[in-house]
Amino acid sequence: MAKRVTKTKQPHFNKLICSKDFGELIRYRRTMLGMTMQITAELCNINERTLSKIEKGNEAVGLNNALLVANALGIDISFTIRGEDNE
């Protein structure tokens, strides 16, 4: 029997300030897609424990794994360098 995924509330921020915000966004997107932690972890070639740490905002998780999960869930990460002129 397939596991049922409970959708989480949409995050109420427009900037990522900390790893907890990032984790909240990852969990929201995963649940909106109806994906279990097991399926998501397998897709990203990481274990469920690592995914859980990402979703909880654990700072010890490697950036590479966090970006891997974001990419697999269709989350584009971009950046802006403040103070630079856009030529």
Cα 84 from Cα 4, distance rounded (Å): 47
Q: Is residue 34 part of a domain?
A: yes
| CATH assignment at residue 49 | 1.10.260.40
Structurally, the chain folds into a number of domains equal to 1
Enter the pTM of the model. Answer: 0.86
Give the model confidence (pLDDT) of 23-77 as tens digits.
999 999 999 999 999 999 999 999 999 999 999 999 999 999 999 999 999 999 8
Q: Quick one: pLDDT band at residue 3, thresholds 50, 70, 90?
A: confident
Residue 67 is predicted with a pLDDT of 96
Q: Is residue 87 part of a domain?
A: no
Q: Is residue 64 part of a domain?
A: yes
Question: Positive or negative CA dihedral for 53, 54, 60, 61?
Answer: positive
Residue 87 is predicted with a pLDDT of 55
Q: Is residue 26 part of a domain?
A: yes
Q: Give me the domain span that covers residue 68.
A: 19-72
